[in-house]
Structure 1
Amino acid sequence: MRYMFGHFPAEFRLTLLAASTQEDAALKDDVKTYEAALSLVKPGGTIHFARAVHGELCRQKYDVILSQGFVSAVSVYLANLAHKVPHIVTIHGIVEPQYLSGRFGSFKRWFLGWLLSRVSVLYGVSNDILEHLYNEFPRLRNNGPQPLVILNGIEPDTFDLLPKEPLDLRAKLGIDGSTFLFGFFGRFMPQKGFDLLIEAVNKLRVAQQNRKFVVVAVGSGDYIREYQETIKSKGLEPYFHFLPFQPMVHHLYPQVDTVVMPSRWEACPLLPMEVLCMGTPLIAANCIGTREIINDTPTFVIEENNLKQLIEMMLACMQDNMPDNFQAYQIEARKRFNVATAAKKLVLFLNDMPGHI
């Protein structure tokens, strides 16, 4: 939303309905840049959100609904039964087994597949994620809605800007210049592999004797307390520094020596795009979604969920960091990942839909 909608033509009128979270302030700032109306819905479950969507559809006429992910798709489908507005479902996550298991697991899986077969368009943010959906629901491949794949993108021009009060990481955290900084940016959840990074640090504190290092972890997420407890139980507190969500976080990338992204899966992640555009060395797992982004880049690639390779790559970066390749790739990265190309494709698609704006 931050990047794509900013490139929509002026004749597009955008209204965002979003569940209220701890990042509401950032969302409010973002929508101002692309002049969208914003309605924050208090948490209350699928039916509660569906009522909010239905109310909005009753108030104003819309040409298309673009729902983000499976949970949103269910709410929108229920709300849209009486309105029949063309419905595009953005696929930006895997079908996670824990949500389709238990006593009613089979029914949930059937219902999700049935619902997805009745929307207008399945919009994958990468080829990987759309293929994953087809593997989970094979009938959608040949008999499902119209498919659309447009990779995510970012706004490279904004990366030359700084926040009003830039953060100096080393000064803020009291870290001297000789200490190697690994950066972890994003949400603290199993998908992102932060637990794998904790295990790697636990091994490295024994294996790496020649240079001090720490991990600066910036972000938020449901599992942050569990991870902090694990760090404490292993005696790793000196090796980790946590910071909350940071606006314009890109200005922190060059302040770390290497960004680590040991994800187990992604759809089409923005983080590697942003890091590569800033010329910062990157270690990333070759997992679903990410591999499309880091292919043909200088990224230090490890296999998904491979602790041994992660440790080896972190050691290699500390012993012989090679940022020149990454700095040279900046120009290419800013061309390759520019969201203007992606937004143009989406706008053309929307204008070609029946009843387009």
Structure 2
Amino acid sequence: MRVAYILTSLGVGGAERQVLWLASRMARAGHAVRLVILLPRGAEDLLSESASETDSPSLDVVYLGIQKNPWSALRGLARGASVIRQFGPNLIHAHNFHGNLVGRLLGRLCGGVPVISTIHNVYEGGRLRMLAYRISDPLSRQTIAVSEAACERYTRLRAIAVNKSGVVANGIETDNFHPSLNQRNAMRATMGVTGKYFVWIAVGRLAPAKDYPNLLRAFAALQLGQPAARLWIVGAGEHSCTNELQSLARNLGIEDKIRWLGSRHDVATLLDAADAFVLASAWEGMPLALGEAMAMGKPVVATDVGGVREMTAESNWLVRAGNSNALAEAMARIMALSDTERLRIGEAARARILQRFSMEAKTREWEEIYRSVLR
């Protein structure tokens, strides 16, 4: 099978990691794979990280180098058509809004190559984007969402047709995410964790969807009863966004309790070193960082958005989005548990990921969808 994967960039993000893992597994299974990336290669490109994380052949990657102007977009589309024709795929698997639209156009321009579209978030834009999805829907054989919540929303908005919709949840490369006491102790020493500090970790881009102001307010409220808590934030964002968040932390009086770690390639080790994971998002598709934390055996507290409940199958530690006090209360309840109770919760979380969300199982699901489309 020859599969062309199309996505906007290979910057740090859950969708990008998911595509790299899937493409790597497809290549290892003997399929011909090409990644077509719309934007130029960036400083935080995940490709080098993927090469170290997966024992896979080198991936065939083409960057179209599209800039934010119409002429560049047209040139990029023309180059993309040339790249697709030269590769000769059996099908195109596109991801996220811009990747999905370009993938659909390239499928038509290249002689009707079947296109599968994937939606990775409950919210991918407003009315104009939903209209673009609706108009271009005939160019896609199937549109797959990463959660039931996302699929329901897009079909309700008529952005995708019900009879062509489906759900394949994100998978986790569990070989890369497994707890180790030696690894944990080494990273805690590196991070200077001393005494009885309880370390919370949040992983994700510094972007509106992740609602870090909600998390900072919750952590400030937590400090009133749990002054021994610390918070690590792993993720990068626009300079202005980072400054605003750090300013809010100062105003809340918690700046000395937070470590801003930026973009990191050792997320698994940092998760292992932390005591629990927190997600404060305003909206999500199927958050990969949440699944990675569960695979590392971490108790998790999260807002009940997108596919979070589908992944956790747990409501005791889920709270309404935007409710900082409820988030703080759930975090306090986790901290009040004994080490044994938290260990039990973490083991159950890891078992769920291994049983239902392994990347191996998800790759088999995608292969079956590919074969179904080709049939």
TM-score by length of 1: 0.84
Aligned residue number for residue 192 of structure 2? 174
| CA distance in structure 1 between the aligned counterparts of 2:179 and 2:307, rounded to whole angstroms | 28
Determine the structure 1 residue equivalent to 2:16.
Answer: none
**1:158 counterpart SS class:** coil
Give the counterpart of 1:269 among 276, 287, 290: 287
Matched, 1:51 2:78: yes
User: Secondary structure, in 3 states, of the residue corresponding to 1:226?
Assistant: helix
Partner of 1:335: 355
Which stretch has the larger CA shift, 47-56 or 112-121? Answer: 47-56
Within 1, Cα distance between the matches of 2:353 and 2:134? 37
Say if 1:43 and 1:220 are closer, same or farther in 2 by CA, change over 3 A.
Answer: farther
Native 8 Å contact 2:200 2:232 kept in 1: yes
Q: CA distance change for structure 1 residues 272 and 139 in 2, over 3 Å: closer, same or farther?
A: closer
Matched, 1:72 2:93: no
| Distance across 2 between alignment mates of 1:91 and 1:235 | 39
Q: What are the residue-to-residue correspondences of 1:80-91 with 2, within 5 Å? A: 80-83=107-110, 84-91=112-119
Partner AA of 1:110 in structure 2: L
Residues 34 and 170 (structure 1), Cα distance of their counterparts in 2 relative to 1, 3 Å cut:
closer
Q: Report how far residue 167 of structure 1 moved.
A: 9.3
Shift of 1:139: 6.9
1:289 paired with 2:289, answer: no
- Who is 1:93 aligned against? 121
Cα deviation digits, residues 1-40 of structure 1 (max 9, x gap) = 233234326331111122323321x323425743320123
CA contact (8 A) 2:122 2:306 kept: no
In the TM superposition, what is the alpha-carbon distance from 1:53 to its structure 2 partner? 1.8
2:66 matched to 1:40?
no
Are 2:90 and 1:63 aligned? yes
The alpha carbon displacement at 1:109 in A equals 4.0
Q: CA deviation at 1:296?
A: 4.4
SS in 2 for 1:157: coil
Q: Per-residue displacement from partner, 1:41-93 (whole Å, max 9, x unpaired)? A: 43513545433422312322111111111111122233333212111111112
- Who is 1:353 aligned against? 373
Q: Structure 1 residues 334 and 276 mapped into 2: Cα distance closer, same or farther (>3 Å)? A: same
Deviation track 1:148-169 (CA, whole Å, cap 9, x = no partner) reads 322121122232498xx99955
Match of 1:318 in 2: 335
- Distance in 2, Cα, partners of 1:248 & 1:173: 13
> So what's the TM-score if we normalise by structure 2?
0.81
Matched, 1:344 2:364: yes
Unaligned runs of 5+ in 2: 1-18
Alpha carbons of 1:41 and 1:172: their partners in 2 closer, same or farther (altered >3 Å)? farther
8 Å contact kept, 2:222–2:329: no
Unaligned runs of 5+ residues in structure 1 are: none
- Equivalent residues of 2:179, 2:297 under 8 A apart: no
Q: Give the alignment's Cα RMSD to 1 decimal.
A: 2.7
Residue 307 of structure 1 corresponds to 324
Q: For 1:269-293, what per-residue CA distance to the aligned partner results, in whole angstroms no more than 9, with x for missing partners?
A: 2222221222111111111211110
